[in-house]
Structure 1
Amino acid sequence: MPEGDTVWRQARDLRKVLEGQVLTSSDFRVPAYATLDLAGSTLTSVQSRGKHLLMYVAGLVIHSHLSMEGHWDIYPVSATGRAARWRRPAFTARAVLTTGQATAVGFSLGTLEVLPEALVSEAVGHLGPDLLGADWDAGLALHNLLDRPERAVGLALLDQRNLAGIGNVYRNDLCFLGGVHPARPVSEVPNLPRMVDLAKRLLEANKDRSGRSTTGGPAHGEAAAWVYGLAGKPCKRCGATIRYATLADPDFPVRAARDIYWCPRCQPD
């Protein structure tokens, strides 16, 4: 599940093969940009912003969001100019960017748009401080969360307008580490600054790992998480059975309710 650390890694890897390179071809497989041709243009910068990816080229910004299943794959181009075979179905490709060295293919992207640089704020200007960005500001993130003290902390942490980069895995395990049920109001969180600090530390610890672990253990299987995805399993701390439910966000009524997991003993309702 792509979260801020996943997108940070995607930007790092894309930067290595695209930044400063001239595009030999581009292919945008969405109707709005089907005729756009960026061949001959230099891609000058690749940046991550929370869960968003921004690629700057020829006065434009290729903006993508991975959503739940998106991914940018990188394929080397051989000496003869032939690209490697794709590992994912071609019909899921939404963007194909090729240089003399590599081909980057964006599969199953939740969002793909190409904007003038002057309008990039329309895509990411609403985001709060980026947990893995140069603009990280813990004080501002805390201020944003406390601006609505009655809101459920599990919803506030997921809201990218407060702080950018937390997804469902992190929000569930952060609530466990904070000893609070995800539906508990922000105003009742015993130590909110510590929770913000933990969010920063967890994403920093995982940004260079191929797999994610919030426990410090192996980045795969049940050992990788405290409560996320472990409904019916014993709590690693107290042994109580981990519970599962969904939590809808009134701020975004068209979005499906998201999964929550918690220990009824460590995180009382």
Structure 2
Amino acid sequence: MPEGDTLFRIAAQLAPSLEGQPVVAFELQHVALERLVGHRVTRVEARGKNLLVYFDEGTVLHTHLRMGGTWHLYRKGERWRRSLATATVILAVPDVVAVCFRAPVARLLRTSMVRGDSMVGKLGPDLLGESFDEVKAMEHLRAQPGAPLGVAIMDQRVVAGIGNVYKSEVLFHEKLDPFAPVSFFSDEELSRLLAYSRRIMAVNANAPGKGHTRTTRESRTRGEGPVSVYRRAGEPCYDCRTPILMERQGELRRSTYYCPRCQPERRERSAAS
């Protein structure tokens, strides 16, 4: 599933071509919507794992890519790299067509509805937002004292943007037990965790090149991959050579990769793990 840095990069790719431009054609789920034709795109923004496209007449397009969705940008007349049958959204402006393929969530809202919307209005502070509110993020974490830390930081209502890759990687970097309850950690530890999450996500979000490989291991040496633990179960930890483990967490049983030596267990693990 694309994480916050990926959506930031998508927004940065789409915005220069779409913002300020009049809509020439718009289709949602293969249905043409004439009411948007002639109106202008005013803003394209990422919000956590969501993409929002604003139009000047008060409509907002919301997409969430989940596991299989993707956005492409084509010049007029350019051949598409995917089938028309898989296009969820087609947004054409003069000379450019933005196409969202296989998005499981694609819908229109009124701008006035965004703040109270159950999917995008209840998101926690966006880790890549210019005005990230650490105080609020800490309040949200502390409001879940019994939740395993690895589950809490994946909750988009706590902080927006962290997915499975960053969950495992940032907890490894800060040497924190993913399975211990939030209450077991100090404010200083949680603050450092949020700060590192913001910094490393921003590094990846702003890295040049379309083919950028996400990296969380900033000082890697020869032979080391770009990430420390994610999808490395059974391989030796780069720091201590202990085999990396993988366990599943939360109601959705999402995979968590960790080093049992670098991230020692804190007292009793949360029953919710």
Q: Taking structure 2 as the reference length, what is the TM-score of the superposition? A: 0.88
Match of 1:118 among 90, 104, 112: 112
Cα distance per residue 1:222-262 (max 9 Å; x no partner):
6111101111111011000001121123xxxxxx3111111
Match of 1:203 among 201, 223, 230: 201
How far residue 35 of structure 1 moved from its aligned partner, in angstroms, is 4.6
Aligned residue in 1 for 2:24: 24
Note the C-alpha offset of 1:52: 0.9
Aligned to 2:81: 87
C-alpha displacement at 1:42, in angstroms?
A: 1.0
Native 8 Å contact 1:217 1:223 kept in 2:
no
Aligned counterparts of 1:238 and 1:181: Cα–Cα separation in 2: 16
Aligned partner of 1:253 in structure 2 is: none
The residue type equivalent to 1:195 in the other structure is L
Name the aligned partner's letter for residue 133 of structure 1.
G
SS at match of 1:55: strand
The one-letter code of the counterpart of 1:135 is S
Q: Which runs of structure 2 are paired with 1:6-45 in the superposition (5 Å)?
A: 6-29=6-29, 34-37=31-34, 38-45=36-43
Trace 1:190-229 onto structure 2 (pairs within 5 A): 191-209=189-207, 210-216=212-218, 223-229=225-231
Counterpart amino acid of 1:176?
F
- Match of 1:124, SS state, is coil
Residue identity in the other structure for 2:164: N
Q: Please state whether the residue corresponding to 2:44 is helix, strand or coil.
A: strand
Q: What letter is aligned with 1:105?
A: V
- Does the CA-based 8 Å contact 2:247-2:257 persist in structure 1? yes
Cα separation, partners in 2 of 1:103 and 1:35, compared to 1, 3 Å? closer
Check the 8 A contact 1:17/1:101 in 2, yes or no. Answer: no
Letter in 2 for 1:24: V
Contact preservation (8 Å) 2:25, 2:32: no
Alignment of 1:100-179 (within 5 A): 100-121=94-115, 122=117, 123-179=119-175
Contact 2:224 2:238 in 1 (8 A): no
Runs in 1 of length 4+ with deviation above 3 angstroms?
A: none
Task: Report the 3-state secondary structure (helix = DSSP H, G, I; strand = E; otherwise coil) of the residue aligned with 2:114.
Answer: helix
Alignment of 1:189 onto 2:185: yes
Same amino acid, percent of matched pairs: 39
- Residue type at the aligned position of 1:107: F
Aligned position for 1:233: 235
CA distance in 1, matches of 2:65, 2:224: 25
Query: Residues 217 and 224 of structure 1 are in contact (CA less than 8 Å); yes or no, is this contact kept in structure 2?
Result: no
* Segment drifting more, 12-21 vs 222-231: 222-231
- Residues 60-87 of structure 1: CA distance to partner in whole angstroms, max 9, x if unpaired? 000111112211100111xxxxx21111
Aligned partners of 1:127 and 1:176: how far apart in 2? 25
- State whether residues 247 and 257 of structure 1, in contact with CA within 8 Å, keep that contact through their aligned partners in structure 2: yes
Residues 1-34 of structure 1, C-alpha deviations (whole Å, 9 max, x = no match): 411011011111110110000111111116xxx2
Report the CA distance shift for 1:184/1:89 in structure 2 as closer, same or farther (over 3 A).
farther
Would you say the 8 A contact 2:26–2:32 is kept in 1? no
Q: Which residue of 2 aligns with 1:47?
A: 45
Distance in 1 (CA, whole Å) between partners of 2:111 and 2:140 is 27
- For residues 91 and 180 of structure 1, the distance between their equivalents in structure 2, rounded to whole angstroms, comes to 45
Structure 1 residue 217: deviation in Å? 6.0
Matched residue count: 253
Structure 1 residues 139 and 72: alpha-carbon distance in aligned structure 2, compared to 1, 3 A threshold: same
Aligned to 1:246: 248
Matched residues in 1 for 2:258 and 2:231: separation? 10
- RMSD over equivalenced CA pairs, Å: 1.7
Q: What SS does structure 1 have at the residue aligned with 2:138?
A: helix
5+ long unaligned stretches in structure 1 = 78-82, 250-255
- Letter of the structure 2 residue corresponding to residue 230 of structure 1: R
For the residues of structure 2 that align with 1:134 and 1:201, how far apart are their CA atoms? 12
